[in-house]
Amino acid sequence: MPTLNDLKIKIFADGADLESIKILYDQSNIKGFTTNPTLMRRAGIQDYKGFALDVLNIVNDRPVSFEVFADDIPGMEAQALEIASWGKNVNIKIPITNTKGETTNDLIGKLSSQGIICNVTAIFTLEQLKETVGVLDVNTPAILSIFAGRIADTGVDPVPLMQEAVEIARIKPKSEILWASPRELLNIFQADVIGCHIITVTHDVLKKLTVVGKDLTVFSLETVSMFHRDALAAGYSIHAN
User: Which residues lie closer than 8 Å to 182 by C-beta, 6 or more apart?
Assistant: 148, 149, 188, 191, 199, 200, 201, 202, 205
User: Which residues lie closer than 8 Å to 142 by C-beta, 6 or more apart?
Assistant: 112, 117, 118, 119, 120, 136, 172, 174, 175, 176
Burial string for 1-25 (b: 16+ CB within 10 Å, else e) reads: eeeeeebebbbbbbbbbeebbeebb
The CA–CA distances, whole Å, from 177 to 48, 71, 198 equal 27, 24, 6
Give the CATH class of 4-210: alpha beta
Predicted pLDDT of residue 2: 62
Catalytic residue among 22, 31, 88, 93: 93
Tell me the three state secondary structure of residue 77: helix
Q: Which amino acid is at 95?
A: P
Let me know if 100 is a catalytic residue: no
Domain ranges of the chain: 4-210
Measured in whole angstroms, the distance separating CA 58 from the mean position of its chain's CA atoms is: 19
Residues of the chain under the 50 pLDDT cut: none
94 within 8 A of 118, measured Cβ to Cβ: yes
Predicted pLDDT of residue 33: 98
Measured in whole angstroms, the distance separating CA 57 from the mean position of its chain's CA atoms is: 20
> What pLDDT digit, counting tens, does each position of 77-127 carry?
999 999 999 999 999 999 999 999 999 999 999 999 999 999 999 999 999
